[in-house]
Amino acid sequence: MTREVERTDDGRYVVVDGRRWRTADPALPDDVRARLLHHLGVARAGVRNAADDAAVTAARARVQLAKNELGERGTPWWEQDDDARRARWESALRDLGD
């Protein structure tokens, strides 16, 4: 099943099934995006496979961190200057152990 995805005119959001979702920061270098997406996938798997509440909480925190640093949550990337955007993803990669 393939969903039809459209972008808003300003490029800040995608619309899936009528719901608007913030896009990742387009300034992310490809290698950084790939590493953050890897961490996001691992964290999501951690949520699915968690053995207890503490593990779920820890995995969800990693999901949140990865999504923030991709620019999909937190301060909108279009409200940050280039230095703040770079600091955001560099900090996340350190925090994620990358």
**Average pLDDT estimate for 26-50:** 95
Band (3; pLDDT cuts 50, 70, 90) = low
Give me the domain span that covers residue 67.
25-95
Q: What is the pTM of this model?
A: 0.85
**Average pLDDT estimate for 48-75:** 94
Strand 5-7 and strand 13-16: the pairing is antiparallel
SS3 29: coil
Q: Residue 43: is its pLDDT beyond 90? A: yes
How far apart (Å, rounded) are the C-alpha atoms in residues 1 and 82?
37
Whether residue 67 lies inside any domain: the answer is yes
Residue 52: what residue type? D
**Average pLDDT estimate for 31-60:** 95
**Of residues 5 and 71, which shows the higher confidence score?**
71
Q: Count up the domains in the chain and report the number.
A: 1
**Of residues 57 and 18, which shows the higher confidence score?**
57
Whether residue 1 lies inside any domain: the answer is no
Whether residue 45 lies inside any domain: the answer is yes
